[in-house]
Amino acid sequence: MVKLHGDQIYLRALERTDLNFLYELENNPEVWEISGTLSPYSKDVLQLYLDNAHRDVFEVKQLRLVISSNEHKTLGLVDIFDFDPHHKRAGLGIIVLDEKQRNKGIGAQAITLLCDYVFNVLDLRQVFANILEENQASLHLFKKLGFIQIGIKKDWIRTNGSYKNEVLLQKINC
């Protein structure tokens, strides 16, 4: 049986009460580089997103779950994107918003729980992640969790007038 609860955290669906957290996250310019955001989001737009967050992953081809501490504090988000049930694959993204909460096992547990879910419930064969080459902490984390580097996308992310490489990692459920 798949569980979405770990020792430190659990994954849950988005709720209306997550509006302020989403507003803070989506309007943080430090996150825009990895999210592809070019301008701020209004609370009205984010509320519309929350109103539609219940839609089925097979319909919208993505799934966003909240990473919550066992004390019910919202810590971050973990996403499935580019969900492709025919080829049995999807992309995986994660963010823990508060830097003080990073490097404490939260990300590892969230990724492990989500991989268990996508492999055993959604019946995917593989997941992939796109990580900036300079983000050594994330690269280390994903590799520690069994993801294999399969390529580098040269000059993939444009930021502040220059380009950065993005590493493509993949985990296959054998």
Within 15-119, strands assigned E span 63-69, 74-84, 89-96
The whole domain housing 15 covers 9-124
Residue 142 lies inside a defined structural domain of this protein: no
3-class state of residue 144 by DSSP: helix
What tens digit of pLDDT does each residue of 94-109 get? 999 877 878 889 999 9
What tens digit of pLDDT does each residue of 147-159 get? 999 999 999 999 8
What tens digit of pLDDT does each residue of 55-100 get? 899 899 999 999 999 999 999 999 999 999 999 999 999 999 877 8
Tallying the residues shown for the chain, one arrives at: 174
Cα separation, 26 vs 37, whole angstroms: 8
What CATH number does residue 58 fall under? Answer: 3.40.630.30
Number of domains in the chain: 1
